[in-house]
């Protein structure tokens, strides 16, 4: 598909600096882009590093970012991220359509309630008592357990496993390999042996949640494990039993949340954050990558480090740690001088 830069400017309400009639055929990252493609710069650092060297025909960037030395045509906008999403959508291939119907290899219990316009793929298994909402798409090799409830307009990619009595809201997207409702990890030691604690609760996922590939969300010991409306979960996340995740949270790859911890609304957990059990993480908390959260966190804080602490304090600690080799040498020098002075005093 060929589109002029001027047409893209109209699409994103931007201003062209250069040739508005140049043809754009696709999108790419700033380091990979070639002639005919459009890329974007979202922050000043990337502008300084890559603008001059890009081979793209055009660059989307904010009004206040310099493109010093850039030979491409420029498309100035208020929000480059949002604008580039629109441009990428414009060039994206048509989405794959899944027509309504049930594949002949699907195994669906007689009492399952299927909504209107559902699409059920090959080798899907839906157990007795389950209910599937209107226009849901369930792709091959997915399992839906007994008495599970799935709302309308959901998309379950291949290989999803949803255990019994789980509840899924509307417009939920679940990617390949996700396991929802596996037993929580609970054992007591009885006579020197690990004895399993029954996990008889459920999982509740509210509307407009997206769950990345190979995420595991355990069922509660009692009650429910809860994922709030609009929350987005990246790949390879583990959420333990009885965890409560609030609304509009972001949970990035390889995060682990131990049982019975509560996250408020608008919490962000960056990659590889570890959260201990039975904690309370307040609304609007942001945890930097690899933070280890071991105590309750008040709302609105930005935290980092192990154990996690306010970001400015953690940064100071990192500066001090990096100064330790020099400090050690200085201390050794002072020790040698002090020893020499003590020896001299003894000889006087």
Cβ atoms of 261 and 281 within 8 Å: the answer is: yes
pLDDT of residue 1: 63
Give the chain as a 3 state SS string: CCEEHHHHHHHHCCEEECCCCCEECEECCCCCCCCCEEEEECCHHHHHHHCCCCCCCEEEEECCCCCCCCCCEEEEECCHHHHHHHHHHHHCCCCCCCCCEECCCCEECCCCEECCCCEECCCCEECCCCEECCCCEECCCCEECCCCEECCCCEECCCCEECCCCEECCCCEECCCCEEEECCCCEEEECCEEEECCCCCEEEECCCCEECCCCEEECCCCCEEEECCCCEECCCCEECCCCEECCCCEECCCCEECCCCEECCCCEECCCCEECCCCEECCCCEECCCCEECCCECCCCEEECCCCEEHHHHHHHHHHHHCHHHHHHHHHHHHHHHHHHHHHHHHC
Hey, what CATH topology would domain 101-311 get?
UDP N-Acetylglucosamine Acyltransferase; domain 1 (2.160.10)
Cβ atoms of 211 and 172 within 8 Å: the answer is: yes
The residue from 157, 175, 226, 241 that is catalytic is: 241
pLDDT of residue 301: 97
pLDDT of residue 12: 96
Cβ atoms of 150 and 207 within 8 Å: the answer is: no
- Tens of pLDDT along the chain (348 residues) come to 679 999 999 999 999 999 999 999 999 999 999 999 999 988 877 777 888 899 999 999 998 888 878 999 999 999 999 999 999 999 999 889 999 999 999 999 999 999 999 999 999 999 999 999 999 999 999 999 999 999 999 999 999 999 999 999 999 999 999 999 999 999 999 999 999 999 999 999 999 999 999 999 999 999 999 999 999 999 999 999 999 999 999 999 999 999 999 999 999 999 999 999 999 999 999 999 999 999 999 999 999 999 999 999 999 999 998 999 999 999 999 999 999 898 888 887
Query: What residue segments make up the domains of the chain, in order of their start?
Result: 3-91, 101-311, 313-348
Alpha carbon of 174 to those of 109, 215, 232: distances in Å?
A: 22, 9, 10
Backbone angles phi, psi at 161, to 5 degrees: -125, 115
pLDDT of residue 64: 85
Contacts of 92 (CB under 8 A, 6+ apart): none
Cβ atoms of 281 and 255 within 8 Å: the answer is: no
| Residue whose C-alpha is closest to residue 84's, from 159, 27, 157, 152 | 27
| 140: exposed, middle or buried (Cβ count in 10 Å: 0-12, 13-18, 19+) | middle
Per CATH, the homologous superfamily of domain 3-91 is: MurE/MurF, N-terminal domain (3.40.1390.10)
Confirm whether pTM is higher than 0.85.
yes
pLDDT of residue 213: 98
- The rounded distance, in Å, linking the Cα atoms of 178 and 72 is 43
241 is catalytic: yes
Neighbours of 229 (CB within 10 A): 16
- The rounded distance, in Å, linking the Cα atoms of 295 and 225 is 20
- The rounded distance, in Å, linking the Cα atoms of 47 and 54 is 10
Structure tokens at 128: 């007795």
Cβ atoms of 221 and 241 within 8 Å: the answer is: yes
pLDDT of residue 65: 85
Cβ atoms of 220 and 201 within 8 Å: the answer is: yes
The answer to whether 3-91 and 101-311 have equal CATH topology is: no
Backbone angles phi, psi at 238, to 5 degrees: -115, 125
């Amino acid at each position: 598909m060929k589109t002029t830069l001027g047409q893209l400017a109209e699409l994103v309400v931007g201003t062209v600096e250069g040739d508005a009639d140049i043809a754009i055929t696709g999108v790419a990252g700033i380091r990979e882009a070639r002639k005919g493609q459009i890329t974007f710069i979202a922050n000043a650092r990337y502008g300084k590093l890559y603008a001059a060297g890009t081979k793209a025909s055009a660059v989307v960037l904010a009004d206040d970012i310099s493109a010093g030395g850039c030979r491409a045509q420029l498309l100035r906008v208020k929000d480059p991220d949002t604008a580039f999403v629109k441009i990428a959508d414009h060039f994206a291939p048509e989405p794959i359509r899944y027509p309504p119907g049930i594949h002949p290899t699907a195994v669906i219990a007689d009492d399952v309630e299927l909504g209107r316009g559902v699409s059920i793929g090959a080798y899907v298994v839906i157990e007795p008592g389950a209910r599937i909402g209107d226009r849901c798409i369930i792709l091959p090799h997915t399992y839906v357990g007994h008495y599970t409830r799935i709302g309308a307009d959901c998309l379950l990619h291949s290989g999803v496993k949803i255990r019994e009595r789980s509840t899924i809201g509307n417009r939920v997207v679940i990617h390949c390999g996700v396991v929802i409702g596996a037993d929580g990890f609970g054992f007591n030691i009885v006579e020197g042996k690990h004895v399993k604690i029954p996990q008889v609760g459920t999982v509740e996922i509210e509307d407009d949640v997206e769950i990345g590939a190979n995420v595991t969300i355990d069922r509660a010991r009692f009650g429910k494990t809860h994922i709030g409306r609009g929350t987005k979960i990246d790949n390879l996340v583990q959420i333990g039993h009885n965890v409560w995740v609030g609304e509009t949270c972001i949970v990035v790859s390889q995060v682990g949340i131990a049982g019975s911890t509560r996250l408020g609304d608008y919490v962000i957990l960056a990659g590889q954050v570890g959260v201990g059990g039975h904690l309370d993480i307040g609304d609007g908390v942001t945890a930097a990558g690899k933070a280890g959260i071991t105590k309750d966190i008040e709302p609105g804080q930005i935290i980092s480090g192990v154990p996690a602490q306010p970001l400015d304090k953690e940064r100071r600690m990192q500066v001090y740690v990096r100064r330790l080799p020099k400090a050690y040498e200085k201390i050794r020098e002072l020790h040698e001088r002090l020893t020499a002075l003590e020896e001299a005093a003894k000889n006087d």
